[in-house]
Amino acid sequence: MNTAAVQAMLDALAAIGADPPGITRHAFDDRENAAHDLAIGHARRLGLEITRDAAANLYLTWPGADRAAPRTLLGSHFDTVRHGGNFDGAAGVVAALAAVSTLRAEGFVPRADVTIAAFRCEEAVWFGLGLIGSRAALGILPPEALDRRRADTGLTLAQHIARCGGDPKAITPGARLLPPGPIRCFLEAHIEQAPSLLEAGAPIGICTGIPGNIRHAAIRITGADAHVGLPRRFRHDAALAGADIFTALDAMWAEEDAAGRAMAVTIGRFHTDTAKHEITVVAGDFTFSIDLRAYDAAHLAELERRFHDILATTAARRGVTIDLGPRNAAPLGPCDPALQAALAAAAARAGIATLPLGSPASHDAANFAAQGIPTGLLLVRNANGSHNPHEAMDTADLMAAAATFAEFLRETA
């Protein structure tokens, strides 16, 4: 795939997901299926083997000379958040296809299989749990996840998997769904989610690590509804309790920043019940979400402890109760030092400038790293972050990632 072919595939993916003002490719649904079909069309033209697993993940394999040798696995995902951008996830699958296309055109024959994976449902917005496809592939999907319901359809994850041709009954803890045989390494390309590469003038970054996270999707604060004239000392104001928590978490983040300890905290949902609460009612209940992330397990655990302290202090001060609801976690993803060096060397041979860079976001790659599989991640320059309609990756930068993968595979596959 040359630049024109890559651009045509990106344009086709945008058409599949078109949902003004942005792009929506729903997980385990027609648009994600259509993106998989688009990849399958390219794979057939490249003569790749096409398989799916019980979670409806897609695998496109370029057979190597020694089919028993440890394979190189590359990939990412096609689903998006609602009204997101076109490149988050999809760019990684396209880069892998472009790298294999380049090498096949040269007549290169890999020593071992090279497999491109398109994992299902990386985004947590669909079922309240992220990285679902890669978790299932690695045999680490929590069993209760299959009963989670997609908010917009009301169907369970198991039902959605079955509708996409998968077999939810075969998804069990400890049972890997990946193509059989050993894996030499896992590689992913993903757009950058902060403008560090734009600032540095480098097209790609060599990721040094992926943060782990703790998430609660619906934390509920319960106080007491009351008249707006009620004096402050009598109030059990759930909304003000939420504001206190938000302020305390931001102060904690500022303190961590000042000490040079990388972390992030995000409250994505923050609301009263608009069907119930009015301008003349003190809010007796309030709901918010939290995503707390850091690059070190001990640091993340300490941040979670401090978060619980903030909740307890606020509950006592405001006279409210706080229900955390379900807790979800994603593992830390340490990027393999040898792979970091090899990817940097491959980029250098191709004349591509790179920057060592931590990823601020979770990725499918983190699951592989947490399972002890050597993992590497390329970050592609992108001006406006991700999870919004304004993702701004240049195709030329994606081609730099593809060229780096091709050079790496030329030396090692």
Question: Residue 361: what pLDDT?
Answer: 86
Question: Residue 151: what pLDDT?
Answer: 83
Collapsed DSSP state (helix, strand, coil) of residue 356: strand
Q: Tell me what percent of the residues of the chain surpass a pLDDT of 70.
A: 100
159-177: average pLDDT:
97
Question: Residue 8: what pLDDT?
Answer: 98
Higher pLDDT, 158 or 275: 158
10-19: average pLDDT:
98
Of residues 409, 412, 413, the one with CA closest to residue 95? 409
Q: Dig out the tokens for 15 from the structure.
A: 């058409």
Model confidence at 360, in pLDDT bands (50, 70, 90)?
confident
Per residue in 186-222, pLDDT (tens digit) is: 999 999 988 999 999 999 999 999 999 999 999 999 9
With beta carbons less than 8 A apart as the criterion, state whether 238 and 285 touch: yes
Q: Tell me what percent of the residues of the chain surpass a pLDDT of 90.
A: 93
Per residue in 66-91, pLDDT (tens digit) is: 999 999 999 999 999 999 999 999 99
Q: Which fold has domain 212-330?
A: Alpha-Beta Plaits (3.30.70)
Neighbour tally for 231: CB within 10 Å: 6
DSSP strand pairing (354-357 vs 204-207): parallel
Per residue in 211-253, pLDDT (tens digit) is: 999 999 999 999 999 999 999 999 999 999 999 999 999 999 9
The residues, ordered by sequence, that sit 6+ positions from 190 with a Cβ below 8 Å of its Cβ are 76, 88, 89, 91, 92, 359, 361, 363, 365, 377, 378, 379, 380
Question: Residue 133: what pLDDT?
Answer: 98
pLDDT at 413 > cutoff 80: no
Question: Residue 79: what pLDDT?
Answer: 98
For the chain, the residue count is: 413
Question: Residue 273: what pLDDT?
Answer: 87
Question: pTM for the full model?
Answer: 0.88
pLDDT at 277 > cutoff 90: no
Sole residue written with tokens 């961590």:
256
Question: Residue 331: what pLDDT?
Answer: 85
Q: Which fold has domain 3-211+332-412?
A: Aminopeptidase (3.40.630)
300-312: average pLDDT:
98
Q: Which of 262-266, 326-330, 357-361 tops mean pLDDT?
A: 262-266
- Domain boundaries in the chain? 3-211+332-412, 212-330
Collapsed DSSP state (helix, strand, coil) of residue 244: helix
Angle at 313 between CA 307 and CA 316, to 5 degrees: 140
Per residue in 18-54, pLDDT (tens digit) is: 999 999 999 999 999 999 999 999 999 999 999 999 9
Higher pLDDT, 362 or 57: 57
Per residue in 314-351, pLDDT (tens digit) is: 999 999 999 999 998 888 889 999 999 999 999 999 99
282-286: average pLDDT:
95
Torsion angle defined by CA atoms of residues 115, 364, 14 and 8, in that order, rounded to the nearest 10 degrees: -30
Collapsed DSSP state (helix, strand, coil) of residue 220: strand
Q: Alpha-carbon distance 76 to 168, whole Å?
A: 21
With beta carbons less than 8 A apart as the criterion, state whether 346 and 407 touch: yes
